[in-house]
Structure 1
């Protein structure tokens, strides 16, 4: 499986994020799929107990490579699960539930913070991962 990494792509994700996705997809057979969605879930996350936010990652096939479409972090606000952070690679924008669509510099800072936290949580094995092929 090849996930194309465009170093000029904005917003940018760290190489370690792509390596994690590749590792998660090694046991998947996406040859006939045109899209892949990975769901990272902490089964104990709830409005009462807190926990680690669920994260959804969407990839779509472009020629013979996969490219990121979006990375979305969800959080409970009260008892409603909403998009807390949304990194959209098609529109090249970053959204935060606290600030709406944010400027490039703030977006890069938020991506760095999100990525570092997400990778740390993944290494702590807090997530159950599901893969959906489309």
Structure 2
């Protein structure tokens, strides 16, 4: 299965991210006609509240009913452990393409320009970590 993405989304996404998705999808067999959404979960198996590691990242894409059936991003979320004495995984950075908003745990909602800069940094680092083979990947379809 190979995804074709909508080139005009509210936030810029590097081409390398599209390649990562298509590479991961080439490892699974799915019936394309029935799928309307795909969730990619990238996890560092060694990440923990005590030892740190690379934050888990979840990315969801949805198939457009218009726009020639292209795929588009719904959200990109970076999680981290927070809280004491019982840390929990919480959203540290949440990029919502539907509402066109970027939220950070400690900064709240960001202005569009600041949001764009944060997304660029988040995705540049994320792509580097994928290239370093840090993550195990789980893909869910609906």
How far is 1:101 from its partner?
0.9
2:90 to 63, 79, 82: 82
In the alignment, is residue 113 of structure 1 matched against residue 121 of structure 2?
A: yes
In structure 2, the residue matched to 1:58 is 60
Match of 1:45 in 2: 47
**Which secondary structure state, in structure 2, belongs to the residue aligned with residue 48 of structure 1?**
coil
- Superposed structure 1 runs of 4+ greater than 6 Å apart: none
Q: Structure 1, unaligned stretches of length 5 or more?
A: none
Q: TM-score, normalised by structure 2?
A: 0.88
Q: What are structure 2's unaligned runs of at least 5 residues? A: none
More strand by share: 1
Deviations 1:64-109 (A, max 9, x none): 3221110100001131210011111101111111111100111011
- Partners of 1:14 and 1:5 lie apart in 2 by 13
Larger radius of gyration: 2
RMSD: 1.3
